[in-house]
Structure 1
Amino acid sequence: MVTVNVSAVGRVSLARGLPVTITLDKNLEDVTVADVKAAVATKFPRFYASRQKLTLKGERKALADEITLKDTGLSDGGELTVKDLGAQLGWRTVYVIEYAGPLIIHPLIYNYPRFWYGALVPKSMLQKMVFGLVLAHFIKRELETIYVHRFSHGTMPFSFVFRNSAHYWVLSGFLLAAAVYSPTYDNYAQYVRGSLRDNPRFLWSCAALWLFAELSNLYAHLTLRSLRPEGTKTRSIPYGYGFALVSCPHYFFEIISWVAIAAMTGSYAAWFFVAVSTYILAMWALKRHKAYRKEFKEYPRERKAIFPFIL
């Protein structure tokens, strides 16, 4: 039997009875941080486990759920501190919300040009193709979120959903749609007629590049899924298509698919989205690449993070 004292860091309105003493009917080497969170949630039902950040007293680093109290260095009767992380939302739900934005915004602007531009917009082949590619991309992302991705973290603060969604809802949603479906790109526009954007061979070449990148991205996601059994946080070194050159080929192929759309349109909005996305994905890739190299001593040293032979 183990006794743990849990006190609050800052204001914890959902657990006004803190500090509390929790008794668990296990040995010190068997009690995990998750067990302590569950016990706290039993005493304060509204203060559910994913809202809790448990730390050793006087420290700021969160303790991982799977770590035992013995591994933390805590002794029987020791003290942990808990912080309220705020309302939480599942990562899967967050991604579904993020990708839903363009799926709503693009059809609204594409199908109702009179409302947005004050006139009908006779659709060019370019506009029709971009509309189809964008919808296909985000439908794929939604399906991957539901059926393919496995997340190492169960939840995130609810407030973050607005920040995360802005990237897709504003940049690849409203900004891109408002630019590409405007009269500037319609069937009679000078910007389109007689240019590459009116050339079926060029447009289908861009679409072929987009398809290659999308399928490659999917394959990389499936590879990563195969490395993590459901319900676990297992991490392994990924190998295979794309991973021989970079740690995050799914990010690389994601960028390529948007470069294809940006090249097809020549739109400032599309290139701006490519630039912002490339920066964000590069930062994520560098972080993951560093984590791989730190965790696995045998990690291939010749791999780059996101761009083959470059970065």
Structure 2
Amino acid sequence: MASWRGLPHRAIMSSSRISFFEVEILDCKTKQQLCFLDKILSGIQQDNQYEGRSLKDEEVLRELPVGTTATLYFRDLGPQIGWTMVFLTEYAGPLFVYFLFYFRMPFFYGLAKAFTSSPHSVVHLACCCHSFHYIKRLIETIFVHRFSHGTMPLKSIVKNCFYYWGFAAWLAYYINHPLYTPPSYGKKQISLSMIMFLICETGNFSIHIALSNLKIDGSRSRRYPFPTRNPFTWLFFFVSCPNYTYEVGSWISFTVMTQCVPVGLFTLIGFIQMTIWAKEKHHRYIREFKDYPRIRMSIIPFLL
């Protein structure tokens, strides 16, 4: 699958004349000519490279700093998969994997403990929270998210699934282990972390709704997110990516609730990755919008 894509031909009138282009398509790696297009109308679009960057979907030849002859680079993106399917695969896996350990399948803890149930209420609560988190993600994928890009490389989804599914198995193994012991401070620690978990999950969902509403009119014009009447979106006053802030808060709460080292490591790695994404988006907002609020940070208010 390649990234080249064209629009239906249309005439562009300039000084009562139709403007044509000659377009040379080169392989991005070998620089060999793949084809030469003669008398191309200026309405053509493509996702190729121009001077080191990929052209956006909405860019057309007549808006680029080129003459009537242009050289574009063709990049083969390899096998692709739609973003909706990507997220469904990534999030359905941990849900299924966790239940294998929760119900103590025979090949995990031995036949003596097969299909038994933990006597600790926190174990059952952790299963509910983990399931709720990924069910929410699946619902958001189907009904809430609006994707700017259509596909992801197939090799990337394999890597992502290994990450999500692998960590789900690792933390589920210890939380549901017959030798697992409840948190040090008992019910108080569990209850407080449960409240924080629900607050962060609600906040995360609210931010996703707000981000989705930015594109609800189908417009391709870029706008930065802003707080709404929903109090959970007021975090936009202070950070560019509060969805990541709430996401990290959910996993910190889950870590405190279960007091489990693998959960803590998963939270730490997730925080590092989400910080990278948040900083990239934050700097992109600053570059694109001159009136972007300077008080905002990337992911942690007043700090990071």
Q: How high is the TM-score relative to the length of structure 1?
A: 0.82
| Superposition map of 1:114-133 within 5 A | 114-118=106-110, 119-120=112-113, 121-123=116-118, 124-133=120-129
Distance 2:127 2:221 in 1: 38
Q: Which has the higher mean CA deviation after the structures are superposed, 162-171 or 259-268? A: 162-171
2:49 maps to which residue? 55
| Structure 1 vs Structure 2 CA RMSD | 2.2
Return the match for 2:34 from 18, 31, 54.
18
8 Å contact kept, 2:123–2:176: yes
Aligned pairs for 1:214-229 within 5 A: 214-229=201-216
Return the alpha-carbon distance in structure 2 between the equivalents of residues 293 and 183 of structure 1. 51
The counterpart of 1:8, out of the listed 26, 29, 32, is: 26
Partner amino acid for 1:5?
A: V
Q: Secondary structure at the match of 1:33?
A: coil
The runs of 5 or more residues in structure 1 that have no matched partner are: 35-52, 186-190
The answer for unaligned runs of 5 or more in structure 2 is: 1-17, 228-233
Whole-angstrom distance in 1 between the partners of 2:199 and 2:88: 24
Distance 1:135 1:234, change over 3 A: farther
Q: Identify the match of residue 301 of structure 1 among 290, 294, 300.
A: 294
2:209 aligned partner, one-letter code: L
**Which residue of 145, 155, 160 corresponds with 2:156?**
160
Give the counterpart of 2:190 among 183, 200, 203: 203
3-state SS, counterpart of residue 183 of structure 1:
coil
The answer on whether the counterparts of 2:26 and 2:71 sit within 8 Å (CA) in structure 1 is no
Task: Give the match for residue 78 of structure 2.
Answer: 86
CA distance in 1, matches of 2:44, 2:215: 21
Aligned to 2:264: 271
Residues in 2 aligned to 1:285 and 1:19: alpha-carbon distance in whole angstroms: 40
The Cα of 1:63 is off from its aligned counterpart by 1.5
Aligned match of 1:136 in 132, 136, 144?
Answer: 132
Equivalent pairs, count? 275
| % identical aligned pairs | 32
Query: By how many angstroms is 1:231 displaced?
Result: 4.3
CA distance in 2 between counterparts of 1:64 and 1:251 reads: 26
The secondary structure found in structure 1 opposite 2:34 is coil
1:11 CA displacement:
7.4
SS in 2 for 1:184: coil
SS at match of 1:159: helix
Tell me if the contact between 2:239 and 2:299 (Cα under 8 Å) persists in the aligned partners: yes
CA contact (8 A) 2:25 2:33 kept: no
1:294 and 1:10 map into 2 onto residues whose CA distance is: 27
Q: Deviations over 1:58-81 (max 9, x none)?
A: x33222121110222233343322
Distance in 1 (CA, whole Å) between partners of 2:174 and 2:220 is 42
Name the aligned partner's letter for residue 54 of structure 1.
N
Q: Following the alignment from structure 1 to structure 2, what is the Cα–Cα distance between the partners of residues 270 and 243?
A: 27
- Provide TM-score, normalisation by structure 2: 0.84
